[in-house]
């Protein structure tokens, strides 16, 4: 039997917070804004040339994308940085009610919550995935199953219906998906328990199967936690994202868009 220890998420230091891609991206946008503002005012003061607002937004995005490239942020951040000022200017030009912007902000806030820190966006799975996971569960005995990052709760609710002998739990950090999953349990009278919080505070030793649909960035830390806490013979499942440099025990492939479920027997 392997040794088991509890682990929890430590408070992030200011240095580690700045290394988060979303924080760096925001800093580069602010820095680029002041650079462009300085250039625009200098052109007016020296040559009497006024910079077009759309051109200024494009220059800000170009500078922010350049800083992001310099810091080796992922490729999608370059596109986000380039187009963000232009899209923001376009949205302002529509002269929509501020209430709409506030509602949109609140929906996105409660849907994605701490994605800037966890780097795990909202990824819904589908029925084909649920069926494949059900086939992987141990059939000879009752199991304790947890879905880390359970989203709207579809997988966990489906598995609990298939396996009434098991104990199924989902944990989700974002308030809106968690609330939806709780309401679904009430409407369906399911026995599933949905917790709101960070899965890093869970003790994986309490479960026979741990399922994750996170992001490539989160996989190394997930593996370290699973290796430290999960009991011998238990199962770690990851949909779509493998653990770098760790060979899976099994890979299930017949899923939509060639996505896979990676399985590790601990």
Burial category of 186 from C-beta neighbours within 10 Å (exposed 0-12, middle 13-18, buried 19 and up):
exposed
Q: Are strands 209-212 and 144-148 parallel, antiparallel or unpaired?
A: parallel
150 touches 260 (CB < 8 A): no
- First CA to last CA distance, the chain: 11
* pLDDT for position 264: 96
| Residue range 228-240, pLDDT digits in tens | 999 999 999 999 8
Q: What pLDDT was estimated at residue 21?
A: 74
Chain centroid to CA 193: 21
pLDDT tens digits for 49-81? 888 999 999 999 999 999 999 988 878 789 989
Residue 119 C-alpha from the chain's centroid: 5
Top-confidence range, 36-45, 105-114, 247-256: 36-45
Average pLDDT value over all residues in the chain:
84
Between CA 61 and CA 82 the distance in angstroms is 4
How far, in Å, CA of 218 to CA of 212, rounded? 10
Distances from the Cα of 46 to the Cα of 41, 51, 57, 151, angstroms: 9, 13, 21, 55
Contact 169, 180 (CB under 8 A): no
Return the ∠ at Cα 86 (arms to 39 and 82), rounded to 5°: 80
Asked if 130 and 158 count as a contact pair (C-beta separation under 8 A), the reply is yes
Rounded to whole angstroms, the Cα distance separating 114 from 97 reads 27
Could you give all domains of the chain from N- to C-terminal order, each with its CATH number?
Answer: 14-95 (no CATH), 127-265 (3.40.50.150)
7 pLDDT more than 50 = no
User: Which tokens hold the place of 259?
Assistant: 């996505």
Tokens read off for 71: 């810091």
Could you list the beta-strand ranges (E) of 30-166: 144-148
Tokens 């569960």 correspond to 137
pLDDT of residue 109: 61
pLDDT at 201 over 50: yes
């Amino acid at each position: 039997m392997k040794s088991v220890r509890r682990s929890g998420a430590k408070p992030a230091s200011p240095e580690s917070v700045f290394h988060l891609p979303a924080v760096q991206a925001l800093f580069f946008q602010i820095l680029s804004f002041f650079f462009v503002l300085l250039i625009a005012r200098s052109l007016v003061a020296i040559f009497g040339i006024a910079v077009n607002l759309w051109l200024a937004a494009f220059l800000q995005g170009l500078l922010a994308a350049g800083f992001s490239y310099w810091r080796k942020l992922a490729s999608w951040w370059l596109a986000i940085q380039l187009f963000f000022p232009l899209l923001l200017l376009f949205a302002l030009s529509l002269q929509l009610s501020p209430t709409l912007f506030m509602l949109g902000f609140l929906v996105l806030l409660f849907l994605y919550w701490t994605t800037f820190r966890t780097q795990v966006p909202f990824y819904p799975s589908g029925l084909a995935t649920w069926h494949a996971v059900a086939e992987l569960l141990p059939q000879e005995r009752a199991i304790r199953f947890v879905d880390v990052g359970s989203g709207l709760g579809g997988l966990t609710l489906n598995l609990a219906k298939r396996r009434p002998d098991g104990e199924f739990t989902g944990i989700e950090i974002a308030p809106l998906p968690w609330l939806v999953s709780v309401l679904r349990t009430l409407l369906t009278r399911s026995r599933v328990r949905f917790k709101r919080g960070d899965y890093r505070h869970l003790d994986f030793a309490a479960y026979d199967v741990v399922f994750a649909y996170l992001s490539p960035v989160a996989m190394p830390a997930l593996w370290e936690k699973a290796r430290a806490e999960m009991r011998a013979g238990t199962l770690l499942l990851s949909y779509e994202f493998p653990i770098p440099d760790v060979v899976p025990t099994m890979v299930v492939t017949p899923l939509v868009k060639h996505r896979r479920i990676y399985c590790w027997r601990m």
